[in-house]
Amino acid sequence: MIHPLQRVSRTRWILLSLILLAPVVSMLLLGQITPARGVAVTTYSGSAYTLAEYPAPFISTNSSLPSTYVILPSSSPHGPCGAAHTMDTMGGVVIAYRLGIEKEKNGGLGTLKTAMDGYSYISTYDAQAATVTMTETLSNLIVIGGPGINQITYYANELRDAAWAQALPVLYVKDGAGDALYVQSSGHAYRIETDGAGHVTADYGVIQIFRDLSRHVLLVYGLGGEGTRAAANVLADFSNWDLTGIAVIVKYYDSDGDGYLDTTAIVEDVAPPSVTIGIYHEAACLTDVTAIDWGDIEAGASKTVTVYVKNLGETAVTLALDTQNWSPPEAQTYMSVDWDYGGGLLDPDAVLPVQLILTVSPEIMDITTFSLEIVIISEG
């Protein structure tokens, strides 16, 4: 049994997102902003995106969405990580190549960049404090290589939730038996397998997606180089694999006993958390929120919309509000979404009216359209 360091009882995070789809904003001479009425809203459970939506959100027909960096592991050591093998680097190359093809199919919009030495401008390492800090927090990331060779994966593997439990669905852990991929929801652990002579008969890799602040991050790595290559090949050939959930475990193994790894299989899917809250138009909770009309908003003013949050689960929860995927990204410099929720517990079957407040800066300029995602998170 693997027990990650400092792991406590894991709090379940539930995300229900209201995706505001392209409200039109008109800059009038008097400084008014006029969003289109009847803004569409979509609700869904789990993380904002799952592997089933790949290659979204990393490429898009909307050129103003956040750019994407494909981060290849460096062949030189970089604290606190060691050097990557050529096999790791090539895994990133095949992913970037396929993603570039998909980008062109979508009209060639959006920004896709490949970087090997990205650790100086995307993340930094403080050797004295032994911490990795993300210095670039807006771009989406596809990160190749495990915590031992990629500084960003090292950072992600140490992320904690509000209860100080490790946040990723799949962790890279070490214990007395060595290295393993540990699936938190199922408790399954995957290790490199060998025969009696010490030859590797199976390696394992992981593909997992998560949200870090306002951007999405996709991690692709293996326990060994063969596991990384297999996971990268699965992602590069995603249309021929039934990728689902927020993570998959990939097994690359010797199927015929000839001493060579030759077969790839997905051996576990990690499902997103289920929804335990509902968002409605009225206190009777009869109509799901499918549209929000902010009306006309003057620059420097704010508008309020009331929605009703119902706890559909069996335990009391607290709520949190977040926004993500602002488009264009600079819109979040001039606009903000807040609410009047005071932080109290929402009991099972209880209904809480909350006011969503959109505020526009008096200094807003040069923004004619915008979109964002409003994420309501229940914790309990």
Supply the pLDDT for residue 116: 60
Per residue in 312-367, pLDDT (tens digit) is 888 888 888 877 767 778 888 888 899 999 989 999 999 999 999 989 898 888 77
Per residue in 52-107, pLDDT (tens digit) is 999 988 886 555 566 888 988 877 788 888 887 777 778 888 998 898 888 887 66
Residue of 121, 152, 140 lying closest to 68 (CA atoms): 140
- Whether 5 is covered by a domain: the verdict is no
- The answer to whether the Cα torsion of 343, 349, 353, 356 is positive or negative is positive
Instruction: Mark whether 284 and 192 lie in a shared domain.
Output: no
The C-alpha atoms of residue 91 and residue 72 are separated, in whole angstroms, by: 8
> What phi and psi values does residue 108 have, to the nearest 5 degrees?
75, 20
Residues near 258 by beta carbon (within 8 Å), at least 6 away in sequence: none
Instruction: Mark whether 295 and 205 lie in a shared domain.
Output: no
Domain range for 335 is: 13-45+275-379
Instruction: Mark whether 146 and 181 lie in a shared domain.
Output: yes
Residues near 182 by beta carbon (within 8 Å), at least 6 away in sequence: 2, 4, 170, 171, 172, 173, 188, 189
Instruction: Mark whether 62 and 190 lie in a shared domain.
Output: yes
The C-alpha atoms of residue 209 and residue 354 are separated, in whole angstroms, by: 30
Q: In the chain, which residues have pLDDT < 70?
A: 1-48, 60-66, 106-110, 116-120, 162-163, 214, 274-275, 290-291, 293-295, 325, 368-369, 380
Supply the pLDDT for residue 211: 81
Q: Has this prediction a pTM greater than 0.85? A: no
- Whether 1 is covered by a domain: the verdict is no
Residue tagged 């979040």 (tokens): 332
DSSP output for 24-85: B--B-TT-EE-PPSSEE-----SSS--GGGTTTTTS-S-TTSPPEEEEPPPSS-BTTB-PPP
Supply the pLDDT for residue 36: 27
Q: Cis ω on the peptide bond leading into residue 273 (within 30° of 0)?
A: no
Instruction: Mark whether 145 and 253 lie in a shared domain.
Output: yes
Number of folded domains that form the chain:
2
Instruction: Mark whether 142 and 163 lie in a shared domain.
Output: yes
- Whether 188 is covered by a domain: the verdict is yes
Instruction: Mark whether 299 and 260 lie in a shared domain.
Output: no
The C-alpha atoms of residue 152 and residue 146 are separated, in whole angstroms, by: 9
- Whether 60 is covered by a domain: the verdict is yes
The enclosing H or E element of 371 equals: strand 371-379
> What phi and psi values does residue 332 have, to the nearest 5 degrees?
-70, -10
Residue of 193, 213, 211, 214 lying closest to 202 (CA atoms): 193
Supply the pLDDT for residue 142: 94
Instruction: Mark whether 106 and 186 lie in a shared domain.
Output: yes
Supply the pLDDT for residue 223: 96
Instruction: Mark whether 147 and 120 lie in a shared domain.
Output: yes
Residue 130 burial class via C-beta count within 10 angstroms: exposed 0-12, middle 13-18, buried 19 and up: exposed
Tell me which of 233, 254, 270 is where a domain ends. 270
The enclosing H or E element of 203 equals: strand 200-212
- Whether 3 is covered by a domain: the verdict is no
Instruction: Mark whether 215 and 355 lie in a shared domain.
Output: no
326: left (phi over 0), alpha (psi -120 to 50) or beta: beta
Instruction: Mark whether 130 and 151 lie in a shared domain.
Output: yes
Tell me which of 219, 237, 270 is where a domain ends. 270
